[in-house]
Amino acid sequence: MVKKLIEKDTKMFLTGNEVLAYAANAAEADFMYGYPITPQNEIMHTWCKLLPKTEAGFLQTEDEISAGFSTIGGILAGKRAFTATAGPGNVIMQDAQSMAEMMRIPFVCAVMQRGGPSTATVIYAQQETRLTCFGGNGEGFRIVYSTAGHQDLYDYMIKAFNTAWTYKFPTYVLADGYQGKMREPVMLYDPKSRGIEMVPVTPYLLGEGEIGKDRKSVHLRNTYNMEEELMEVLDQYQEDYNKMAEEVAEYQEYKAEDAEILVIAHGIVARSAVTAIDELRAKGIKAGLFRPITIRPLAVKPLRAAVQRAKQILFTESANGQLAQMVLEKLYGLTTPYSTLYKMGVGVTGDDIVQKVEQMVKTPATV
Amino acid sequence: MTQILTLPPSLPNAQNAEVGASKFCPGCGHGMILKSLAFAIDDLNLKQKAVFGCDIGCSLLSWNYMDLDTVQTHHGRTTPVIYGLTRANHEAIGIAYMGDGGGLAIGSQHLVNATVRAERMLIIVANNTNYGMTGGQMSPTTMPGQRTETTPYGRDCEVTGRPAKGAEMVAAIADPNKSYVARASVSNLRKLRSTFKKALKNVEMGGFSFVEVLSLCPLNWRTNNVDTWGRLAQMEECFEVKEFLVREGLEG
Amino acid sequence: MARTKMVLAGEGGQGVQSVAKILVEAGYEAGKQVLYIPNFGVEQRGGVSIAFCQIADEKIGEPRFAKGDIVIMLSDRAIDRCDTYVDENAIVVYDTSVCTKKPECKCKKIIGIDANRIANEQLSARVFNIIILGVLIAATNVLEVSDIKNAMELALGKKFDAKPELRELNYKALEMGMNMIKDKVGA
C-alpha cells in the first residue's frame, strides 16, 4: 500500500506534470512505468523524487512499447499502475493500448500532446486527439478526459483511475505541453475529503485461492479463432461502452445558454475561448462555449441541444479539426452553419478567437 | 467380450488436462517443450506462483495449454508484460514463452534490456528457424542456405546476414552474478527438463534466466520424420547446445 | 489592473527562465493569479529561451497570449523572434550592451538598457538576470519589491546562507535594475 502525501487541502504552485504525479499518488497509484519523451518527463521526475515518501514503484523501460505493456503487466498483478507519454511515444504505445482495449484492462495513461506528425515539436498541440480516442486496430473502446489546466489535471487524473477500474476500459488524461510545463496554482486534496472512494483493485493473475482447489487457472487471451466468436465479444463491449457513456460523459458550458455564436473547443483551447467570450460579451456579441470534457465518449444530447440553440458554430483547435470531425458526426441532421479556426500545433489565443468571431458576425458562416 | 483398457496420458500437474488434443501441428516441438516445462514446474512446486505469458506466433496456441495463470500478449511483447508483472508482484515466478521471431526479431529490444536489467523472470525462446504460424518465412535464426517462403532459393548470408545466436548474445550482456543462460534441444527432453528446472531455480533466487530451445517444424520445413531429426542435428551443429552462463551457487 | 502579460526572451544561459520563476513565485506568494509557460524547444541549451508570464487579479484564461504588455529582448535572436508578441500598446526593452541592433517594431515605447555591461563592470556577470528582474518589476509595477525578495529567498536562500554577500549582491542588482528604468517608462 502506497503512502499518500496529501492529507489536507494544500494549495501549491506547480507545473502540470508535477500535478499529475501528485494526483496519481492521491489516487493511491502503486506503480508507474515510463520512458522519457518531452513534454511529459517531469511526471516521471516528480514520481521518482517522491518515491522515498510514497513507497510506490517505478520502472524506466526501454521504450514506450515496453512502458505500455509493462503497465499492463503491473495491472494484471493487481496494481493501480499507470504510464504517461506524448507524440511519437503515443504512436508506438498504441500496440499495448489496443491489447488493453481487447482484454478490458484498466490501463491509465496521461498524454501530453506535442506537435505532429512525426517528431515535429516538443512543445504543444492538440494533434493526438484522434490517436488517443481511436488509435490501435480497433473501435476506440476508450475513455478520454481532455483537461484545461491544473485543477483539471488533478481532478481528472484521480477520476481516471476510478473510471478505468469501474468500467475496465483504457482511460486517458489528454493534456498537452502547455499544461505539462506551465506553472499555476492548484488545490491538492485527499480524494476522501471530496467523498471520492478509490475503486478497489484486484489482480487478474495470481489472485486469491489455490489453482485446482479453490479455483481454476486463469487463461486470458486476445486471439479468437472464428469471426463470429470475435463479434460476440465486441458486441458485448459495445453494449457495455454505451451503458458506460451515459454515466461517464462530461461537458462544460460557459455562457452557452443564450449564445448566438457557440465556440466548440476542448482542452486548453477552451480556456482561451473563455477569455475571448468575456471580451466579446463586453463588446455586445453573444458568444458562448461548449467544451466536451470527455471527448470520447461525447456528451451527445447536451451537445446537440447547445448547437441547436446557436445561430453559428465555431470549431477551434490546435489541430486541423480532429475534435470537429468527431463532433460533426454526432450533429447529423442539424443545420446550424459552422466556421473553423484551426492552428495546427500552435496555441490558439483569446485574440485569435475574438477576431474570428467578429468576422463571423460581419460575414456569417454558410457551411 | 473384449475389454479395452485405457490409461490416461501421464500429464504433469502444471499442464491443463482440459485442453484436449494438442492444437500444434503433428511433429511440432512446442508440445514437448511445454510438457518439459510443466514437469520442471512440478519438480519445484511452482504452480501456484508461476505466471505464464505467451507470445503471438505458434506460441500463442499455448494460451490455455498450462494449468497456470496465463496471459496471451502481442507479438514480441510477452517479455515486457511479464517483467511489468514481476516488478509489481515480487512473489510471482514470471515465464515469457515465445518463438525465435518474437524473441530475436520483433521483441529483441525487450530481450536485450530485460537481460541487462536482470529482470526476475525466465524467457524461453523456441527456435525452429522460421516463422511457423505465418507460413514459414525466414526468421533471424534461419540457417545458411535454408529454404523458406521469403528465401525460396536458400538464405543468402551475404544479403540477409548470418543466423542470430540468441543464447550467445544474451550471455554476452547478462549479469554473471544473477543470470542463467542456456541452449537446449528437444532431442534430449530429460536434459531440457533439468535445464528448465535450473532456470526456474535461478528465478526463485531472484535472477534472470534465458533458455533457447532448438525445436521442430516439420510442416514448414517440409520434412519427413527422418529428415526432421536430421535437420535438428544440423541445427545443433549451427547452434551450440550448452550452458553459457551459470551464476555461482546455482546447482542442477 | 486586470492582467499583465510579460514576455522575456534571451539566449539559453542568460537566466531568463530563472527570473521568470522568481517573478511568478513572487506573484503566487502575493496572492495573485499567475500563469507561467517556459518555451522549450528541441535544444535544451543554446536556443532562444522565452518565458511567457501573466500576473492578474482574476482567474487567467488563455495560457498563451498573442501580445505582451512588456516584451524584454536580451539578444539579437530574441529581437528577431519576439517581434510577433509586440503591438502598439507594448513596451519593448532591449539590452544595448548585448544586442548589436535596435528592435524595429511599432509599439508604445522602446527602451534600451545596458544591464550586461553594468553587471560585468560594477557587480558580477552572474546577476545580469537579476538586473533584468528589477527592470521588469519597475516597468510593470504589479508586485512589491518585498514580494520579489521573498521569492528570491525561496529560490536562492541556500546559496545566500552559504555566502551571505551574495544576498547583498543580488539586492543591489535588483535595485540597479529598477533604477535603470524608473524614469524611462512613465512618459
Asked whether the beta carbons of residue A31 and residue B87 sit closer than 8 angstroms, the reply is yes
Does residue A76 sit at the B interface (CB-CB below 8 Å)?
Answer: yes
SS3 B2: coil
Q: In A, which residues are within 8 Å of C35 by CB distance?
A: 182-184
What is the mean predicted confidence (pLDDT) over A165-184?
97
Shortest Cα–Cα distance, C183 to chain A (Å)? 32
- Identify which of A205, A52, A207, A77 has the alpha carbon closest to the alpha carbon of residue B88: A77
Q: Which of B67, B92, B113 sits opposite A217 (nearest CB)?
A: B67
Q: Nearest residue on chain C to A346, judged by CA atoms? A: C64
CATH homologous superfamily for A10-194? Thiamin diphosphate (ThDP)-binding fold, Pyr/PP domains (3.40.50.970)
Kindly report, residue by residue over A177-216, the tens digit of the pLDDT: 999 999 999 999 999 999 999 999 999 999 999 999 999 9
**What does the DSSP 8-state code read for residue A140?**
-
DSSP string for residues in chain C: --EEEEEEEEETTS-HHHHHHHHHHHHHHTT-EEEEEE---S-SSSSEEEEEEEEESS----SS-SS-SEEEE-SHHHHHHHGGG--TT-EEEEETTT-SS-----SSEEEEE-HHHHHHHHS-GGGHHHHHHHHHHHHH--S-HHHHHHHHHHHHHHHHHH-HHHHHHHHHHHHHHHHHHHHHH--
Asked whether the beta carbons of residue B88 and residue A217 sit closer than 8 angstroms, the reply is no
Question: What phi and psi values does residue A34 have, to the nearest 5 degrees?
Answer: -160, 165
Please tell me the predicted confidence (pLDDT) of residue C46.
64
Beta bridge mates, A284: none
Residue B4 lies in a domain: no
- H-helix segments, A77-144: 87-102, 129-134
Neighbours of B29 (CB within 10 A): 25
- Identify which of C165, C143, C177 has the alpha carbon closest to the alpha carbon of residue C25: C143
- Identify which of B221, B180, B222 has the alpha carbon closest to the alpha carbon of residue B202: B180
Please tell me the predicted confidence (pLDDT) of residue B120.
98
Kindly report, residue by residue over A17-42, the tens digit of the pLDDT: 999 999 999 999 999 999 999 999 99
Crossing angle of helices B166-173/B108-116, nearest 10°? 30
What is the mean predicted confidence (pLDDT) over B14-32?
91
Asked whether the beta carbons of residue A184 and residue C42 sit closer than 8 angstroms, the reply is no
pLDDT band at B19 (very low <50, low <70, confident <90, very high): confident
Residues B117-130 as b/e (b if ≥16 CB within 10 A, e otherwise) read bbbbbbbbbbbbbb
Asked whether the beta carbons of residue B84 and residue A206 sit closer than 8 angstroms, the reply is no
Kindly report, residue by residue over C91-131, the tens digit of the pLDDT: 999 999 999 999 998 999 999 999 999 999 999 999 999 99
Asked whether the beta carbons of residue A183 and residue C24 sit closer than 8 angstroms, the reply is yes
Please tell me the predicted confidence (pLDDT) of residue C43.
60
pLDDT band at C186 (very low <50, low <70, confident <90, very high): low
Residues 6+ apart with CB under 8 A from B2: none
pLDDT tops 90 at residue A307? yes
Please tell me the predicted confidence (pLDDT) of residue B6.
77
Please tell me the predicted confidence (pLDDT) of residue A81.
98
| pLDDT more than 70, % of chain A | 100
Does residue B83 sit at the A interface (CB-CB below 8 Å)?
Answer: yes
Q: How far apart are CA A347 and CA A355, in angstroms?
A: 15
Q: Name the domain count of chain C.
A: 1
Give chain C's mean pLDDT. 91
DSSP string for residues in A22-85: HHHHHTT--EEEE---TTSHHHHHHHHHHHHHH--EEEE-SSHHHHHHHHHHHHHTT--EEEEE
- Identify which of A356, A365, A317 has the alpha carbon closest to the alpha carbon of residue A337: A365
pLDDT tops 80 at residue A251? yes
Q: Name the domain count of chain B.
A: 1
Neighbour subunits, C (≥3 Cβ pairs < 8 A): A
What does the block give as the cell for B49?
506462483
In a mutagenesis test of the C interface, which of A275, A341, A352 is the best target, namely the one with the most C β-carbons within 10 Å?
Answer: A275
Q: How far apart are CA B138 and CA B151, in angstroms?
A: 6
Q: How far apart are CA A27 and CA A198, in angstroms?
A: 7
Residue B193 lies in a domain: yes
Shortest Cα–Cα distance, A77 to chain B (Å)? 5
SS3 B103: helix
Q: How far apart are CA C128 and CA C117, in angstroms?
A: 9
Residue C85 lies in a domain: yes
Asked whether the beta carbons of residue B84 and residue A204 sit closer than 8 angstroms, the reply is no
Is the pTM higher than 0.80? The answer reads yes
Give chain A's mean pLDDT. 97
Shortest Cα–Cα distance, B155 to chain A (Å)? 30
SS3 A163: helix
Q: In CATH, what number is assigned to the domain containing residue B53?
A: 3.40.50.970
Residue C162 lies in a domain: yes
Q: Which of C39, C40, C62 sits opposite A271 (nearest CB)?
A: C62
pLDDT tops 90 at residue A134? yes
Note whether B60 and A223 are within 8 A (CB).
yes
Kindly report, residue by residue over A256-275, the tens digit of the pLDDT: 999 999 999 999 999 999 99
Asked whether the beta carbons of residue A57 and residue B91 sit closer than 8 angstroms, the reply is no
Asked whether the beta carbons of residue A66 and residue B80 sit closer than 8 angstroms, the reply is yes
pLDDT tops 90 at residue C39? no
> Residue B64: which H helix or E strand, with range?
none
Residue B137 lies in a domain: yes
Q: In A, which residues are within 8 Å of B60 by CB distance?
A: 223
pLDDT band at B124 (very low <50, low <70, confident <90, very high): very high
> What is the residue range of C130's domain?
3-181
Given strand A287-292, what is the order of strands in its sheet? A251-254, A287-292, A261-264, A312-317, A338-342
Which amino acid would we find at residue B193? R
What does the block give as the cell for A186?
492548484
Kindly report, residue by residue over B131-153, the tens digit of the pLDDT: 999 999 999 999 999 999 999 99
Asked whether the beta carbons of residue C66 and residue A123 sit closer than 8 angstroms, the reply is no
Residue C80 lies in a domain: yes
Asked whether the beta carbons of residue C62 and residue A350 sit closer than 8 angstroms, the reply is yes
Q: In C, which residues are within 8 Å of A341 by CB distance?
A: none
Does residue B23 sit at the A interface (CB-CB below 8 Å)?
Answer: no
Q: How far apart are CA A127 and CA A90, in angstroms?
A: 11
Neighbours of C157 (CB within 10 A): 12
Asked whether the beta carbons of residue B87 and residue A59 sit closer than 8 angstroms, the reply is yes
Does residue A179 sit at the C interface (CB-CB below 8 Å)?
Answer: yes
Q: Which of C25, C39, C62 sits opposite A275 (nearest CB)?
A: C62
Q: Nearest residue on chain B to A30, judged by CA atoms? A: B88
Q: In B, which residues are within 8 Å of A29 by CB distance?
A: none
Distance of CA A112 to the CA centre of its chain: 9
- Identify which of B115, B101, B111 has the alpha carbon closest to the alpha carbon of residue B55: B101
What are the extents of the domains in chain A? 10-194, 251-361
Q: How far apart are CA B205 and CA B120, in angstroms?
A: 9
User: The dihedral of CA C140, C146, C151, C156: what is its sign?
Assistant: positive
Q: How far apart are CA B9 and CA B28, in angstroms?
A: 18
C-alpha pair distances (Å), B218 with each of A174, B29, B136: 50, 9, 11
Q: Which of B55-69, C45-59, C94-108 has the lowest mean pLDDT?
A: C45-59
What is the mean predicted confidence (pLDDT) over B175-198?
98
Residues of chain A numbered 295-314 and touching chain C (CB < 8 Å): none
Q: How high is the ipTM of this complex?
A: 0.95
Residue C186 lies in a domain: no
Question: What phi and psi values does residue C53 have, to the nearest 5 degrees?
Answer: -125, 140
pLDDT tops 50 at residue C187? no
Shortest Cα–Cα distance, B60 to chain A (Å)? 8
> What is the residue range of B69's domain?
24-246
Give chain B's mean pLDDT. 96
Q: How far apart are CA C14 and CA A174, in angstroms?
A: 33
Q: In A, which residues are within 8 Å of B84 by CB distance?
A: 33, 59, 69-74, 76-77, 81
pLDDT band at B1 (very low <50, low <70, confident <90, very high): low
Kindly report, residue by residue over A50-60, the tens digit of the pLDDT: 999 999 999 99
pLDDT band at C42 (very low <50, low <70, confident <90, very high): low
Shortest Cα–Cα distance, A303 to chain C (Å)? 22
* At least 3 CB pairs under 8 A between chains C and B: no
DSSP string for residues in C54-80: EEESS----SS-SS-SEEEE-SHHHHH
Which amino acid would we find at residue B25? C
C-alpha pair distances (Å), A249 with each of A190, A298, A300: 24, 6, 8
Residue C151 lies in a domain: yes
Neighbours of C91 (CB within 10 A): 20
pLDDT tops 50 at residue B27? yes
Residue B74 lies in a domain: yes
Q: Which of B49, B67, B87 sits opposite A74 (nearest CB)?
A: B87
Does residue C12 sit at the A interface (CB-CB below 8 Å)?
Answer: no
- Give the residue carrying C-alpha cell 506537435: A115
Question: What phi and psi values does residue A18 have, to the nearest 5 degrees?
Answer: -65, -40
Does residue A138 sit at the B interface (CB-CB below 8 Å)?
Answer: no
Q: How far apart are CA A353 and CA A337, in angstroms?
A: 17
SS3 A171: strand
Does residue A272 sit at the C interface (CB-CB below 8 Å)?
Answer: yes
Does residue B105 sit at the A interface (CB-CB below 8 Å)?
Answer: no
* Higher pLDDT among residues B3 and A66, named by residue: A66
SS3 B124: strand
Q: In CATH, what number is assigned to the domain containing residue C154?
A: 3.40.920.10
Note whether A336 and A296 are within 8 A (CB).
no
Does residue C32 sit at the A interface (CB-CB below 8 Å)?
Answer: no
Does residue A12 sit at the C interface (CB-CB below 8 Å)?
Answer: no
Is A251-361 CATH 3.30.450.20? no
Q: Which of B48, B71, B113 sits opposite A211 (nearest CB)?
A: B48
